[in-house]
A = this chain, B = another copy of it.
Amino acid sequence: MTTTTGAAPAPDTPDALDAPDDGFHVFDTTLRDGAQREGINLTVADKLTIARQLDSYGVGFIEGGWPGANPRDTEFFARAQREVDFRHAQLVAFGSTRRAGVPAQIDPQVTALVEAGAPVVTIVAKAHDRHVELALRTTLEENLAMVRETVAYLREQGRRVFVDCEHFFDGYRANPGYAKQVVRTAYEAGADVVVLCDTNGGMVPSGVQSVVRTVLAETGARLGIHAQDDTGCAVANTLAAVDGGASHVQCTANGYGERVGNANLFPVVAALELKYDRRVLPPGALAETTRVSHAIAEVVNLTPATHQPYVGTSAFAHKGGLHASAIKIDPDLYQHVDPEAVGNTMRMLVSDMAGRASVELKGKELGYDLGGDRALVGRVVERVKEQELKGYTYEAADASFELLLRDEVHGAGPGCSAPRFFRLESWRAIVEQRPDGAQVNEATVKLWAKGERIVVTGEGNGPVDALDRALRAGLERLHPELAKLALVDYKVRILEGAHGTSSTTRVLVGMSDGGAEWTTVGVGDNVIAASWQALDDGYTYGLLRSGAEPREDG
């Protein structure tokens, strides 16, 4: 929608309209640079799974690791070429220029790159004079020779070569002449792309764009960009480089990478396709963005970030009351792209900041048409506001909101209760640390269901677990449907952090019947009372879902 640029339009040959061509490279380095993220530790099987996901998504290049540097990466290259049926991507092996003073053809690190068998090789080269002297401990001239000879050798071996100029932007500031000389040397030796790396991630977009533009004009090399996110600008820096004339972008899935991370593949690709009108993925692939993002998060065992651009579960969630009324008229007024374009969906959240419109919309989402009944909607809005003032929240607790809505729809105002499955008389929980160190948790629940009075005691790992077991034990004979309901999540939040243990407590409980999951909320002076409420709502909602018949008297 928002169009910017400075970037050349994509060639309009029929081929370019159907699929990305070599004119623009989407280069993924999740398996190499992304794996540097603190907490990520990939097995070979993980890497193969991610490679398949990235290939299906349609990136042009998958950098798989550093063969020779560790046995896992060596094994990955061997197996990827046997086991993965690449349909879009070319596999890339990463390594370094030859060492100082050692001919490329006998440097074991360089020969390992060739032996990996990948059709493309990326080699990292120093472009910052101080790094050459202090980290490589060689001369500026020898560094150029290392670049030249390594590129030439790999080209002789039939490899396509990309050169990553490490610390390029810092090097350019310190010694622009030398930094450009490294670019020229690599390009003249046969590198297809010279990649300017913001290794320390300190750049902001205006700086990136002007440097890329200058280097392009002065060297004529095809340029790429590799941005780290230390200023929070990696996506923007990548786009700024494209504005400046770069035609190769290096990214990682979900922005995984060392320190803060790398440029996130998904918003970069989405911006190129949707904001720059460039076709950089195969047709239809963009709509797979959310799925691929979440699948890769699963493989690396990180919860998908809920607030990630385009793919987060919150990315198209609306809360403001102002917004909700306009969204009813035209969703495009309040979203920058169609969520379906990236495989995501719009969601409405209910909160006290929202008004009538979001309650109506949420009602519709849940299957209640409230459009005609202004008084009813008004009552629901009032109750939500009252409840949120007490500490309830319905954004996450959809099931509690639906029960509230149902109470109002079925005519039960605040104070009088709608048909339910059971009616509480009392409960008691006892938690004990005994002299022998044993811990005992016991709960007794007294309730009425189907006209019977039930008194039952449960034991558990904690007081809430004991209450849950007592409630189940009491109801299961009358409602065998309960057997398939399970507690799957439990969250506690103390609402007034500054008032010690006598604060209000909010509990969110997640339940599942094996298929659907739902969340309920409870609030109280203490964690057990709050948990009871959330459990009560959770089981009530589960029984409603199962088709059980509620009664006036529980």
Contact = CB atoms under 8 A, between A and B. Distances in A.
11 contacts: A4-B205, A43-B495, A135-B329, A230-B309, A231-B309, A258-B323, A425-B435, A463-B526, A486-B500, A489-B500, A527-B527
A203 B239 CA distance: 12
Contacts of A49: 497-498
A243 B206 contact: yes
Given A433-B529, A439-B529, 5 more contacts: A4-B205, A45-B496, A204-B271, A260-B315, A465-B500
Interface in A355-414: 385, 388-389, 391, 393, 395-396
Nearest to A495: B43
* Residue from the set A232, A315, A461 with the largest chain B CB neighbour count within 10 Å: A232
A498 B329 CA distance: 39
Interface of A: 1-6, 35-39, 41, 43, 45-46, 49, 69-72, 128, 130-131, 134-135, 167, 169-170, 173, 199-207, 209-210, 229-233, 235-237, 239-240, 243, 258-261, 264, 267, 270-271, 275, 298-299, 301, 306-310, 312, 314-320, 322-323, 325-326, 329-330, 333-337, 349, 351-353, 385, 388-389, 391, 393, 395-396, 424-435, 439, 441, 446, 460-465, 468, 486-503, 505, 525-529, 531-532
Contact of A439 (B39, B45, B525): B525
Copies of this chain held together in the complex: 2
Contacts of A532: 433
B427 A428 contact: no
Nearest to A512: B500
Contacts of A495: 43
A433 B425 CA distance: 8
Q: Name the prevailing secondary structure of the A interface residues.
A: mixed
* Residue from the set A134, A335, A429, A486 with the largest chain B CB neighbour count within 10 Å: A429
Given A38-B319, A505-B462, A526-B461, A173 B314 contact: no
A446 B436 CA distance: 13
Contacts of A330: 130, 134
A240 B205 CA distance: 8
A336 B130 CA distance: 15
Nearest to A35: B353
A271 B205 CA distance: 11
Contacts of A325: 135
A482 B549 CA distance: 56
A310 B231 CA distance: 7
B315 A464 contact: no
A534 to B, nearest CB: 10
A301 B475 CA distance: 35
Nearest to A396: B39
A352 B39 CA distance: 13
Contact of A432 (B334, B427, B432): B427
Given A38-B349, A206-B6, A433 B439 contact: no
Contacts of A72: 352, 389
Given A239-B233, A502-B462, A326 B497 contact: no
